[in-house]
Structures are given as structure tokens and as C-alpha cells.
Amino acid sequence: MEGFTPQLFIALLFVTIWQLFWKGVALWRAAGSHQKKWFIALIILIPLNDLGLVPIVYLFFFAKHPLTLHEMTKWFSKKKHN
């Protein structure tokens, strides 16, 4: 393919990983919170998942226990938080 450069490949890989991360967290939360309608909606909306926006909106606004930035920083922190 003529227009397929290594930079484009890296960008597509990054976007794919970004989308999978947010989709996975949202599905995990919806399943764990017994929000079946949101779980199904997140699965169905896979083709409409531009940059993980649907899962991000769910996680921060519609989840039974909305995700907080403090919780996210604990995921990536080297220290163990209780």
C-alpha cells in the first residue's frame, strides 16, 4: 500500500490500544455493577466507538459507581493504596 507508513501504523496501533483499554474498563464496570443494558449497549456500539468516547462517557457519568481521576491514578501508581 502506497500511503501506509510506519508512522500511520504506530498511530493506528495507539488508537486501537486506547479504544480497547476504555472498552475493557467500561465492560468490566458494567458487568460488575449488574448494568446489563449498558453492557449490551457498549457491545452493540463497537462500530460507533470513536476513540473510546462511549465507554468514557459511561464510566464517568452513567456507571453506578462513576470512575474518578483519583481511582485512575491508583491504577498507574507504583505505591499500593488501601
The tally of domains found in the chain comes to 1
Q: Is residue 82 situated within a structural domain?
A: no
Who's near 33: CB < 8 A, 6+ residues apart? 63, 64, 65
Range of the domain at 46: 11-74
Determine the pLDDT at residue 42. 85
Domain assignment present for 69: yes
**pLDDT level of residue 79 (50, 70, 90 thresholds):** low
Average pLDDT of the chain to the nearest whole number: 84
In a domain, 4, yes or no: no
Within-domain flag for 6: no
Task: Compute φ and ψ for 16, nearest 5 degrees.
Answer: -65, -45
Q: Please give the radius of gyration of the chain, using alpha carbons only, rounded to the nearest integer.
A: 15
70 belongs to a structural domain:
yes
Question: pLDDT: is 3 or 21 the higher one?
Answer: 21
Alpha-carbon distance values, 45 to 2, 19, 55, 58, 67 (Å) = 31, 12, 9, 12, 20
